[in-house]
Chains A and B, each alone.
Chain A
Amino acid sequence: MSAINLDNLADFIRGTAILGTGGGGDPYIGRLMLQQELEKCGEIRLIDPDDVGDDIFTVTVACMGAPTVFGEKLPNATTAIEGIRRIEKEVGRSVNAIMPLEAGGVNATLPLTVAARMGLPVIDGDGMGRAFPEFQMTTFNICGVDCSPFVMSDDFGNTVLLETDSALRTETYGRAVCVKMGGIAQVASYAMTGEEARKSCVARTVSLAREIGQTVREARIAGEKDICDALVDYFETSNPPRFSQILFDGKVQDIVRETRDGWTHGQVFLEGLDEADGEMLITFRNEYSQATVNGKTVAIVPDLISVLDRETGEPITTETLRYGQRVKVLGVAALPVMRTREAVEIFGPRAFAIDEEFQSLETLAWGEAEAVG
């Protein structure tokens, strides 16, 4: 059985940053929380989704709020557990495994800390396969898992339970409560059975993060192969394999960034290192949502777009983008569960105000015929 421990923690954290696809919040605090917890418990066990039995009853754990606040009034594993207890009471069943809501960014770590504290295993998967900004943007929601009861807890152990008719409404009401809780709330939601978890999750994203980090580290030490090429090779062999491609190799020419309605909107322009490579434009809305080369779309949500330092492979977030950075842009195909018609409605282009149909990375790379064949 695989596990997260002090030896692979740094790999896992680097992977969650890359899966943050430009957003997801700084994993720094999450790393410290996990490190402190692992020093006590040694390791956190992962259960492969295929091995999740019908005896499992699980709940997702995440933080809601403003990343700036996360850095001051840190995420609180202790009261996240209060939220889980409240759900157990509400549904009359004990939780025996924890499920991450999000694979990228700061929320990839809190569930592991909570699981360690509770002495429970973590299901190796999540509901986003990357980072997304809102609670309705999950494969659980798409597959019909109810996000209610949705329990928010503050540092005092106060809980607020939302029972709504849709995950979108929960997200809206939840934000208001979150502000009153001081800009950060621990959230337990999407309580589900083993069967539901198995069918609805994006599989093996905890080990995916760990293996991404490991690939970067090993490529750096070996120093022979380009780190981004090493990642593309890795994704061919990940479980399940994922199509991926280096979409662009260039340098940052200009950034337009604006914060409004609680979102960071913006665009970054890249120029090819070779002039013949033309220009890339990446649009972001908290995370990178669309990449075009010379006006032609090459990747679009929910497929993953990551901007990496071209030498070190270190991910560059929408907040740390700066003129002059030399980067490679990596596109990674989202798993099929994230590309269904229902999924694309919830977290496809239009959910990010892009007036375009979703086209898979493969289709965009090879054209329609080959991709289908």
Chain B
Amino acid sequence: MHIGVDVGGTNTDAALLDGNKVLSSIKSPTTDDVGLGVVGAIGQVMQQSGCKVSDISSVMIGTTQFTNAFVEGKKLVPVATFRAALPATRDVMPMVEFPPHLKKPIGDLSYLVSGGYEFDGRHIAPLDELAVAKGARDMKARGVNSVAVSSVFAPINDQMEKRMAEIILNEAPDAELTLSSEIGRVGLIERENATIMNASLAALSRTVVNAFRSALAELDITCPFYISQNDGTLMTAEFAEKYPVLTFASGPTNSMRGAAFLSGIEDGIVVDIGGTTSDVGVLKGGFPRESAISVDIGSVRTNFRMPDVLAIGLGGGSIVRGNSDNVRVGPDSVALNLTNKALVFGGDTLTSTDIAVAAGYADIGDKSLVSHLDPALVEAAVDCIHALIEDAVDRVKSSKGNVPVVLVGGGSVLLNRPIKGASEAIKPELSGVANAIGAGLAQVGGEVDRVYSYGDLGRDGALDHARKEATDRAVNAGASADTVSIVSIEEVPLTYLPAGAVRVKVKAIGDLGPQEHAA
């Protein structure tokens, strides 16, 4: 049996899964001491189901703490950036666009050295190993321990970054390194930004992963535990400690994965309606579609993979204004104050929840408190709510045609009419804990994103290479080899270059392999 836990900003949810069955699930408030909340949630869910510690084969945890910490600039450590690129790239130093509140804790110590690759794999310059060693000694003398390593076209060849890592560790054996080739895609600055973000979270990731470890130890749970990544696959706790940024936006991802699991819909659209906003995203083969564009995190641009989610200002607490001729719903919301502001709870604010109750398709609070509402206004607001969702559903679609829509989250009570553009609309049971269930689904993945020269390797040769590497990465991440399959291949020829330079993205996914219980 697996336990999935979702540590959100407000709630910590847990679900106990046995294969394809959800045995029990609970929702509890997130505590300041995250470990305590996790202990509480797991403890409750086990107690509820009566299962024993020895029945648990793995625990999967989803968390938004790293995203929040970075955006707020809290609990970050100073980072030294090493970039192998000279004489290229000297006109944009690392961290140019980091805002002051992030530059303050992270600093802007950087060492640019000769090195890097051309798009076709040639060296720009040989790696200046002496300069790397000198930088590492300087960094150590300044008391900086967390390092971001980047080089030009590292997604084509990571050898230089690996060599830099060796040299830095030789000079500063305790240094904690993040390599850009492990994190980002083509686009030096965006990839380097993501690398620096990751390095700045080194201390927090240790603290958080240790808190999870102690929480499990306290419950005598000795099975391996995993952290969910933002593509819907798992990583080991050790890996998560090194690559916390891979959890960014894993909340919406887990919710979409959970929705797929609960509804049985692998390809469709998930609408997760919360209190203030709705997240709308596309499922492809049970996983969220990735964003094709760069994503800003805390106003810093990055290019690592993120789920493609459209957030709109509609939730259970959205404020309703106007009259039947001109009604508006949201985007502002009474948010956490729903239970004292909404009319059905005796409050003074007309919310979308009141409309659902007045329309007779939700039973929340005291419905007599909304019986005075003008039926025409209620009708208009119901139209408006459905139109907002229909519009969002249409925006995220990748082509014309009707697709299944899965509605999850507390606010899904707002909808009860057929949705335009949807072949069917499904509201699965247990949708309130879709996040925790999504976290508890045991699949691991590996991906490759690099530029190949089809002229040298041939298309088949290049694709074979990429497939094999993605598969190896999935197995290294814990997938059992016989279950790994390639789920996507994307080829993008580069413009303005001779035919043959092609950016290839391959992703492999497999089931979590046999696990060894810790002693």
A35, B497: Cβ atoms closer than 8 Å: no
Give residues of chain A (17-75) contacting chain B, Cβ–Cβ below 8 Å: 28-29, 32-33, 35-37, 65-69, 71-75
- Alpha-carbon distance between A32 and B95 when the two chains are bound, in angstroms: 10
Q: Chain B residues near A179: list those with CB within 8 A.
A: 497-498
Per the bound structure, the CA–CA distance linking A108 and B497 in Å amounts to: 22
Interface string of A174-187 (1 = CB under 8 A from B): 01001100110000
Q: Which size bracket describes the interface of A in this complex?
A: 35 or more
Interface of B is mostly: loop
Q: How many A-B residue pairs have CB under 8 A?
A: 127
Known: A73-B188, A74-B89, A182-B118. 19 other contacts (CB 8 A): A29-B92, A35-B96, A36-B92, A37-B91, A66-B501, A68-B495, A71-B186, A72-B188, A73-B118, A74-B188, A76-B91, A78-B91, A155-B88, A175-B496, A182-B119, A183-B118, A254-B400, A259-B493, A324-B396
Please give me the residue from chain A that is nearest to B89 by CB atom: A74
* Of A175, A253, A320, the contact of B293 (CB 8 Å cutoff): A320
Instruction: Check: B465 CB closer than 8 A to any chain A CB.
Output: no
Q: A182-B119, A326-B395 are in contact. Are A77 and B496 (CB under 8 A)?
A: no
5 A-B residue pairs with CB within 8 Å: A28-B294, A36-B91, A183-B496, A259-B492, A320-B293
The answer to whether A33 and B92 touch across the interface, beta carbons within 8 angstroms, is: yes
> Does residue B87 face the partner (Cβ distance < 8 Å to A)?
yes
Which A residues are CB-close (under 8 A) to B294? Answer: 28
Q: Say yes or no: is B116 at the interface (Cβ < 8 Å to chain A).
A: yes
Smallest CB gap from A176: residue in B: B498
| A28–B301 touching, CB < 8 Å | yes
Give Cα distance in the complex from A253 to B400, angstroms: 7
Q: CB-CB contacts of A68-100 with B at 8 A, as 1s and 0s?
A: 110111111111000000000000000000000
Mark out the residues of chain A between 295 and 332 whose CB falls within 8 Å of any chain B CB in the assembled complex: 320, 322-326
A183 and B119 contacting across the interface, CB-CB below 8 Å: yes
A136 at the interface (CB under 8 A from B): no
Say whether, besides A71-B188, A76-B90, A78-B91, A32 and B394 are in contact (CB < 8 Å).
Answer: no
Counting CB contacts under 8 A, is B292 at the interface?
yes
**Which residues in A have their C-beta under 8 angstroms from that of B122?**
182
Say whether, besides A254-B399, A320-B293, A324-B394, A73 and B89 are in contact (CB < 8 Å).
Answer: yes
CA separation between A126 and B501, bound complex, in Å? 32
Interface residues of chain A: helix, strand, loop or mixed (majority): mixed
Q: Whole-angstrom distance from the CB of B113 to the nearest CB of chain A?
A: 14
- A76 to B86 alpha-carbon distance, docked (Å): 11
Interface pairs A-B: 10 shortest CB-CB:
A66-B496, A155-B88, A182-B118, A324-B395, A259-B493, A71-B187, A155-B87, A32-B96, A72-B188, A74-B89
In angstroms, how far is the closest chain A Cβ from the Cβ of B294? 8
Q: Is B397 an interface residue (CB 8 A)?
A: yes
Residues facing A in B214-246 (CB within 8 A) are none
Q: A32 touching B88 by the CB < 8 A rule?
A: no
Residues of B within 8 A of A67 (CB): 495-496
Asked if residues B91 and A35 are in contact (CB atoms below 8 Å), the reply is no
Q: Are B301 and A73 in contact (CB under 8 A)?
A: no
Q: Is A264 an interface residue (CB 8 A)?
A: yes
**In the complex the two chains form, is B119's CB within 8 Å of A69's CB?**
yes
Indicate if A262 sits at the interface (CB-CB under 8 A). Answer: yes
Does A139 lie at the interface of the complex (its beta carbon under 8 Å from any beta carbon of B)? no
